[in-house]
Amino acid sequence: MIRKRKRKTKKILVIDDEENIRLLYQEELKDKGYEVILASNGQEGLEKFDNCNPDLITLDIRMVGLDGLDILKLIREKSRDIPVILCTAYEEYKQDLRSWSSDAYVVKSSDINELLTTIKEILK
């Protein structure tokens, strides 16, 4: 009898202060078969990062309190192995040296196909 290996569902932590974005990402990522954990700010995101062991993180840059680049630095101090995708509506952060330790940079739009494609490529 040949046993199929049970495939682990990949966990994605979405850290974004915009509720509509969190819910959109959650819906789209669940439809693609991912487990989604949501965080509405940087502090909550760091706590969930420590507790849920995600396979990938999507991270907004402009947030109240800890911004995404500060969070990225703290995540990288703990782990260089977890892929982080910066998702922002502002393209100018791409030139910020602090953003270079991310695995990808996606500019937010109403069409999230670029984000979905980037996630699929990183997690394969």
User: At 84, which CATH number?
Assistant: 3.40.50.2300
Please give the mean pLDDT across all residues of the chain: 89
The residues, ordered by sequence, that sit 6+ positions from 8 with a Cβ below 8 Å of its Cβ are none
Q: Quick check: is 1 in a domain?
A: no
Question: Which secondary-structure segment (H or E) carries 22?
Answer: helix 19-31
Q: Quick check: is 51 in a domain?
A: yes
Residue 90: the pLDDT is 64
Is the pLDDT confidence value at 51 over 70? Answer: yes
List Cβ<8 Å contacts ≥24 apart for 73-82: 73/98, 73/101, 74/46, 75/46, 75/49, 76/101, 78/49, 78/50, 82/49, 82/54, 82/55, 82/56, 82/57
pTM over 0.85: yes
Q: Quick check: is 45 in a domain?
A: yes
Q: Quick check: is 119 in a domain?
A: yes
Q: Quick check: is 73 in a domain?
A: yes
Domain count within the chain: 1
By residue range, what is the domain housing residue 53? 11-123
Closest CA to 103 of 23, 41, 19, 12: 12
Share of the chain above pLDDT 90, in %: 71
Is the pLDDT confidence value at 21 over 90? Answer: yes
Residue 98: the pLDDT is 64
Residue 4: the pLDDT is 54
Q: At what angle do helices 19-31 and 113-123 cross, to 10 degrees?
A: 50
